[in-house]
Structure 1
């Protein structure tokens, strides 16, 4: 269960505002985190706390396919992004870097406490539960392992142990 304060944004939040282009040259993900959401909310990186949840409208993560966008959010402390819908490449990039995402049409205000149950795809705010799209088991496994690279590493180690 993920529980955190809501950061609320509208429709069509693109990767250019999630992590603006000038910061893409850095390989330091802590530096990326310092500029997360800067293009739409200059105070976000300073005020977000570990475990907070972004709640957005439709087409979150549209624009370029930059993997740095979900990385910046994850490193800034965002525990989950809940949106009415996601740009497909952002959705998969988020899973690959270990940032949970849930498609659900949620009504809340900035600062509301949001609870996300990844296993059943529900989001609860102020006692109201919104039913979202459940993640398939294989995507949950990737998230539980910390992202695709760590998941594949774990699978390879299991294969080596099974062969021994």
Structure 2
């Protein structure tokens, strides 16, 4: 399966409160309500710029801060295919796996805002064809791909009768 979408650039150290401000959790924990506020502290109106299949592209330490599990949930709810970053905060990485959001660690320096990005996990390639850019990505473990395809860890376990069926 190959993924294609538009790049939305963010910088280094994007924390979970940047992804979804804690003030909204007092009003609702429903992802369908919270998603409208995605990244609004650093990019007001970002929700209206997203199309299903797009990518968030960032620098180092994406998802730092609290262990707020709503952060990766909101990103997935927004229809983002994957987050591409130079590195991820460990708890964010784990929460993303649990809900089936793909995270790809790679060099994001050459990707620009609104570039058309193509990600081929089988060939471990990220491409920006308009600018003839090809970036190698790590091989994602088949378990992570399957968890993502199943909609998260709990859905994977329900459908497969355990982690290893």
Shift of 1:68: 0.3
1:40 aligns with 2:45: no
Distance (Å, rounded) in 1 between the aligned partners of 2:120 and 2:97: 16
Contact 1:96-1:148 within 8 A present in 2 as well:
yes
Q: Which residue number corresponds to residue 17 of structure 1?
A: 18
Aligned to 2:121: 118
Task: Name the residue aligned to 2:70.
Answer: 68
Q: Is the 8 A contact 1:108 1:125 kept in 2?
A: yes
Aligned length: 160
- Structure 2: state its 5+ residue gaps: none
User: Where do 4+ consecutive residues of structure 1 move more than 4 Å?
Assistant: none
TM-score of the two chains, using structure 1 as the length reference = 0.91
Looking at structure 2, the residues matched to 140 and 53 of structure 1 have their Cα atoms a distance apart, in angstroms, of: 16
Alpha-carbon RMSD across the aligned residues, in angstroms, is 1.8
Aligned to 1:31: 33
Q: What is the aligned counterpart of 2:134 among 118, 129, 135?
A: 129
Please name the residue that 2:149 is paired with.
144
Q: Which residue of 2 aligns with 1:2?
A: 3
Match of 1:24, SS state, is helix
The alpha-carbon deviation at position 157 of structure 1 amounts to 8.0
Q: Is the 8 A contact 1:4 1:53 kept in 2?
A: yes
Mean Cα deviation higher: 122-131 or 51-60:
122-131
**Counterpart-to-counterpart distance in 1, 2:124 and 2:69:** 24
Q: Which residue of 2 aligns with 1:58?
A: 60
Return the alpha-carbon distance in structure 2 between the equivalents of residues 66 and 120 of structure 1: 33
Instruction: Deviation per CA, 1:50-76: give whole Å up to 9, x if none.
Output: 111011101000001111001111111
The answer to whether the Cα contact below 8 Å between 1:58 and 1:84 also exists between their aligned partners in 2 is: yes
Distance, in Å, in 2 between the alignment partners of 1:137 and 1:143 is 10
Aligned-residue offset at 1:135: 1.3
Whether contact under 8 Å (1:50, 1:78) holds in the other structure is yes
2: CA distance between counterparts of 1:45 and 1:30? 12
